[in-house]
A and B are shown apart, each in its own frame.
Chain A
Amino acid sequence: MIWQFDLLVLVLLVVTAVISLQVKDLLSASMVFGVFSFLICLLWAGMGAVDVAFTEAAVGAGVGAVFLIATVFNTTRDSSD
């Protein structure tokens, strides 16, 4: 593992985690959460856990993000803030 690459991914991981919690728009939050999953997938792949990385990419970043977005499409926007 290259420590500069790891540091970059870890920093981005924290940034995307905070963004997906803080952003008001639920659609953006779901998409940033998908990015978060892809970054974790990169970390797994870097550590040689390719099976885990594959599952994370398929389930977390792929289908999981689609489920979240499909659910967001069925919500209504009536929040006051």
Chain B
Amino acid sequence: MKALGLMVVIVVGALLLYAVGDFPAWGDPQSPASQHEISRHFITQAIPETAVPNMVTAVLADYRGYDTMFETVVIFTAGLAIIGILGMARLTDRESLKPMAETKPGDRDMIVINTCRLVIPIMQLFALYVVAHGHHSPGGGFQGGVILGASFILWAIARDLPTALQGIKPRRIVFLAALGVVIYAGTGALSLALDAKLLDYSALHGFLPPAPADGVPNEIMARSHGMLVVEIGVAFTVSAIMFGIYTYLSSMGRLKGGL
């Protein structure tokens, strides 16, 4: 059986390697993907149309915003599924779980805790920078949200789960995650209410203060600011779900003890 499995893997691997030969070379301007009219549009028109220097974010949050909205919903659903399944396991088979070592305040290393006290504010500040600067430099809601969630996880590792959960109650984790999806979908619905297409942020230009006469028109700046708003929504969902997944995974749904 093992030999058969190895043979299948080798044959499929050889086929895949053979298919790689038909790929265009890396960064080839003559490749079909680069020649298509739509990639030329993104490359030349992203800054005039949206005033966003980071082309990746412009495609992700504006041109392809519908896709990213449901990506956020996917993360939200995945987190809910983990929280739901592990929360249920806690209620049904309590006896079969491995007993947990009780942690006392003195068990935790003071050096680790105080290092985390120093590092966590810097991490969170960096996370907020990554979210807020996502349309000007690499980054955005997903990356910033993960870093923000990781800072809570670090605190939960350094102390224990009850200490980390004092700030955010488990119920509030789900609320914050849902709030992120509502911010994203709400921005889209708002443009729909203003007689534009779903997630067409240029319809929201009325909310901005008057643009300077020689500056970028408000219709274009609204797309840039709309991207920032949906990135903040993504960051809410991702950071809450990352912390939620960690708390439920590390304690098998019991939400107590440390790692």
**Could you tell me which A residues sit within 8 Å of B by CB distance?**
1, 47, 50-51, 53-55, 58-59, 62-63, 66-67, 69-71, 73-74, 76
Which residue on A lies nearest to B82, using beta carbons? A67
- Contacts A50-B138, A66-B153; A59 near B246 (Cβ below 8 A): no
Q: In the complex, are the beta carbons of A70 and B249 less than 8 A apart?
A: yes
Q: Is the CB of A73 within 8 A of B250?
A: yes
Q: What number of B residues sit within 8 Å (CB to CB) of A?
A: 25
* A18 to B: closest C-beta gap in Å: 12
B138 touches A54 (CB 8 A): yes
Minimum CB–CB distance from A22 to chain B (whole Å) comes to 14
Contact A58 B150 (CB under 8 A): yes
Please, which residue of chain A has its CB at the minimum distance from the CB of B134? A51
The number of residue pairs between A and B whose CB atoms lie closer than 8 Å in the complex comes to 57
**In the bound complex, how far is the Cα of B150 from the Cα of A63, in angstroms?**
6
> When chains A and B are docked, how far (Å) is the Cα of A58 from the Cα of B150?
9
Note all chain B residues with C-beta closer than 8 A to A47: 26
Known: A63-B149, A66-B246, A74-B252. A55 touches B143 (CB 8 A): yes
**Residues B249 and A63 in contact, CB atoms below 8 Å apart:** no
Check A63–B139 contact: CB distance below 8 A: no
Bound: A58/B153 CA distance, A: 13
Q: Is residue B146 contacting chain A, with contact meaning CB distance below 8 A?
A: yes
User: In the complex the two chains form, what is the Cα distance from A53 to B140 in whole Å?
Assistant: 13
State in angstroms the CA–CA spacing of A72 and B129 once bound together: 33
A58-B146, A71-B249, A74-B252 given; 13 more Cβ-contact pairs under 8 Å = A1-B26, A51-B57, A54-B139, A58-B143, A59-B143, A62-B150, A63-B149, A63-B246, A67-B245, A67-B246, A71-B250, A73-B259, A74-B251
Evaluate whether A70 and B246 lie within 8 angstroms (CB atoms) in the complex, with A58-B146, A63-B150 already known.
Answer: yes
Q: Which residues of B contact A (CB under 8 A)?
A: 26, 54, 56-57, 98, 130, 138-140, 142-143, 146-147, 149-150, 153, 157, 242, 245-246, 249-252, 259
Q: How far does the Cβ of A21 sit from chain B's closest Cβ, in whole Å?
A: 12
| B57: chain A residues within 8 A (beta carbon) | 51
Which residues of chain B are within 8 angstroms of A1 by Cβ–Cβ distance?
Answer: 26
With the chains together, A70 CA to B147 CA distance in Å? 17
**Separation of A58 and B28 alpha carbons in the complex (Å):** 29
Complex Cα–Cα for A67 and B251 (A): 11
* Contact call B153/A63, Cβ cutoff below 8 A: yes
Shortest distance between the CB of A1 and any CB in chain B (Å):
8
Q: Which residue of B lies closest to A67 (CB)?
A: B249
Partner of A70, one of B26, B54, B130, B250: B250
Instruction: Say how far B15's CB is from chain A's closest CB, in angstroms.
Output: 18
